Amino acid sequence: MKAFPPERIVCLTEETVETIYLLGEQDRIVGVSGYAVRPKQVRKEKPRVSAFTSADIPKILALSPDLVLAFSDLQAEIASSLIQAGVTVMTYNQRDIDGILAMIQHLGATVGQEQRAIKLVNQYKSRLANVRTQAEGRPPLKVYFEEWDDPMISGIKWVSELIEVAGGTDIFPNYANQAAAKDRFVTSSEVITAAPDVILASWCGKKVRPEKIANRPGWDTIPAVQNGRIKEIKSPLILQPGPAALTDGLDCIVEALRI
């Protein structure tokens, strides 16, 4: 980094944007992902420089960033291009709740707000514990979380964990341990056999159509379909491994599981 704490940060995913805003260091951000929508003012305040797996490298370089924040192997090519251009790139790879909390604390230290980040992490830990306690004693509902519809992709680890926190049971916990989407493909027959009580869906960047899910061949035997318990969770609230998932995303799951 050219400066510490870095004075000019580009965020290629939305969770680091939201975290830096929560830490009160948003003035350090000079460019963001086009998917960044939290907080609302970010779309007006910060220039957009990337999608998810693609980025405007010349535009990023023109911003003279001290640091670019990326996420996972999915942005490896972007990171490589920036590194070759002499830019410092930090890539996170959080796939579960503990990883999200670790990212927040590490990023806090990076922007000179370690104590504020620790306080934020502790608030999230307390919130998760309270939600878990409130769910105790209720019969667990079997939940199918659908990240994409064609092919059908089940939920990743942090989503599976949040379902458990809310008092549900993920019907595909083994798939949840797989980081790559291609390793979480599920078949229609698997879902029918698992007979979920609730179906949660968040099709990344695409509106969920509950009627399309309900009309899949053979799905009329699934309790969630029979009882009309198919709920959409907007992708910015649950598919980014950051503060949104631990707050509004979790709240959506809790609401969907209310008996």
E strand or H helix that includes residue 29: strand 29-33
Reported confidence tier of residue 137, pLDDT bands at 50, 70, 90: confident
Peptide bond into 39 cis (omega under 30): yes
Q: 149-163 pLDDT, tens per residue?
A: 999 999 999 999 999
DSSP string, 44-113: HHS-EEE-SS-B-HHHHHHT--SEEEEETGGGHHHHHHHHHTT--EEEE---SHHHHHHHHHHHHHHTT-
Rounded to an integer, what distance in angstroms lies between the CA atom of residue 87 and that of residue 214?
48
Domains and CATH numbers, the chain: 1-92 (3.40.50.1980), 139-257 (3.40.50.1980)
**Distance of alpha carbon 145 from the chain centroid:** 13
SS3 12: coil
Contacts (Cβ under 8 Å, ≥6 apart) of 51:
33, 34, 35
Q: 43-77 pLDDT, tens per residue?
A: 999 999 999 899 999 999 999 999 999 999 999 99
Rounded to an integer, what distance in angstroms lies between the CA atom of residue 139 and that of residue 172?
18
Are 90 and 111 spatial neighbours (Cβ–Cβ below 8 Å)? Answer: no
Residue 152, Cβ neighbours under 10 Å: how many?
Answer: 19
Q: 76-117 pLDDT, tens per residue?
A: 999 999 999 999 999 999 999 999 999 999 999 999 999 999
SS3 147: strand
Closest by alpha carbon to 176, among 241, 232, 85? 241
Average pLDDT of the chain?
Answer: 96
User: Hunting for tokens 């899910």 — which residue is that?
Assistant: 213
Instruction: Give the mean pLDDT of 236-243.
Output: 96
Q: 151-203 pLDDT, tens per residue?
A: 999 999 999 999 999 999 999 999 999 988 999 999 999 999 999 999 999 99
Closest by alpha carbon to 105, among 96, 115, 95? 115
Reported confidence tier of residue 1, pLDDT bands at 50, 70, 90: low
Rounded to an integer, what distance in angstroms lies between the CA atom of residue 208 and that of residue 202?
7
Rounded to an integer, what distance in angstroms lies between the CA atom of residue 112 and that of residue 125?
22
Rounded to an integer, what distance in angstroms lies between the CA atom of residue 103 and that of residue 69?
11
For the entire predicted model, the pTM comes to 0.95
Question: In whole angstroms, how far apart are CA 51 and each of 68, 75, 149?
Answer: 14, 10, 21
Instruction: Give the mean pLDDT of 237-256.
Output: 97
Rounded to an integer, what distance in angstroms lies between the CA atom of residue 33 and that of residue 55?
8
Phi-psi region of 72 (alpha: psi -120 to 50; beta: other; left: phi over 0): left
